[in-house]
Amino acid sequence: MAKLSSVVFEERVDAACNGEAASSAQASGRARTVVIIDDMRSSAMLLKAYMEQIDGVSASTFSDPEEALLGCSEAAPDLVLVDYHMPKMNGVEFLQKFRNIPHLREVPLVMITGNEKKEALYEALEAGANDYLRKPVDAIEVITRARNLLELRARQIELAAANEQLYHLATTDQLTGLKNRRHFMEKLDSEVDRSSRYGRPCAVAILDVDLFKAVNDTYGHDVGDKVLQSLSQMLLDELRNVDLVGRIGGEEFALVLPETSKGQAWEVCQRLLARIRDARVTAAGVEVRFTASIGLAQVAMAGDQASAVLKRADEALYRAKHSGRDRCELET
């Protein structure tokens, strides 16, 4: 095979590094990281030099696969190049441990080895390697394959972010930022089922803003929206991370309090009522005060259903409304 001139070689390397179009990662401005694991420093540094010829890439090297595994676990890279023959653990053993870490399962990995046996190739691919290169590596080949895998990784990240955004939009009430009715009901079903099946305490409450129509009629819907947003933040402030709160109607909210007895839930509701009663909401140049009423129910120890619990809480809310408002009533 004729030897390439240095000029032609550099031109091909530049083409491999940059491609004809900017990568999605470059377009988003996100730095890309490559981790190289090789116990031979000269090989590792050569690969590092190749990787850093790709725009927007920083590369780090490890000679110890155990240290590399820890480093990758703490900060997931965009691409890993790992040598097959290493002390302590070989490349396949590293790969198996690497893939067992949940947030590293989708990170592309290339196995590099001088082993000519096909069995080594099959073993690496079976363990989850995305690609396989033989030593001595060709600069153009390793750069091209690395760039392609980095592009794949960038698209994976973008897709995951897009899916997360879609999930957020599908499950969140746009005005308040709380869970919407559909998502809340799904979670309520799961929590009631868990509570009744295992005999664990769980309370469910429905909260409704008192005389909310009068707020809208007097001050306008913009002020009414501000009241609902302020109330939503109060609920988030007062409840635990394990609690669930959602907006299930116009001015109606529902709460699920896992591992909470009826007495404990009653105390939570009283605290919420006091917080709401003392609040001042300023919007459109006016200060608004408001109250709320709460109906509270407890999940039965066996065979209870989410719809039944919610109905009992709603009936308790009805009594709270007709007993003077700004109060909490328990299910009968």
E strand intervals along the chain:
32-37, 57-62, 79-83, 109-113, 131-134, 202-209, 244-247, 252-258, 281-283, 286-288, 292-298, 328-330
Please list the residues that pair with 34 across neighbouring strands.
Answer: 59, 79
Is there a single domain that holds both residue 154 and residue 200? Answer: no
Is there a single domain that holds both residue 287 and residue 191? Answer: yes
Is there a single domain that holds both residue 163 and residue 189? Answer: no
Is there a single domain that holds both residue 44 and residue 82? Answer: yes
Domain count, the chain: 2
Is there a single domain that holds both residue 139 and residue 284? Answer: no
The predicted model scores a pTM of 0.68
pLDDT score at 22 = 42
pLDDT along the chain (332 residues), means of 10: 45 51 47 94 95 95 95 96 90 94 95 79 87 91 95 92 92 96 95 93 98 95 96 96 96 98 96 97 92 97 91 97 97 92
**In the block, which residue shows the tokens 């399962």?**
105
Is there a single domain that holds both residue 228 and residue 321? Answer: yes
Q: Are the C-beta atoms of residues 303 and 309 closer than 8 Å to each other?
A: no
- Tell me, yes or no, whether 175 lies in a domain: no
CA distances from 203 to 93, 292, 294, 307 (A): 48, 18, 12, 13
Q: Are the C-beta atoms of residues 212 and 219 closer than 8 Å to each other?
A: no
pLDDT score at 29 = 55
pLDDT score at 143 = 95
Is there a single domain that holds both residue 30 and residue 128? Answer: yes
pLDDT score at 7 = 44
Tens of pLDDT along 109-135?
999 987 667 777 788 888 889 998 988
Is there a single domain that holds both residue 164 and residue 188? Answer: no
CATH number, domain of 79, equals 3.40.50.2300
Is there a single domain that holds both residue 261 and residue 296? Answer: yes
In this structure, the number of other CB atoms found within 10 A of the CB of residue 23 comes to 21
Domain that holds residue 132: 6-170
- Tell me, yes or no, whether 265 lies in a domain: yes
Is there a single domain that holds both residue 247 and residue 133? Answer: no
CATH number, domain of 221, equals 3.30.70.270
Nearest CA to 113 out of 144, 90, 95 is that of 90
- Tell me, yes or no, whether 1 lies in a domain: no
pLDDT score at 15 = 52
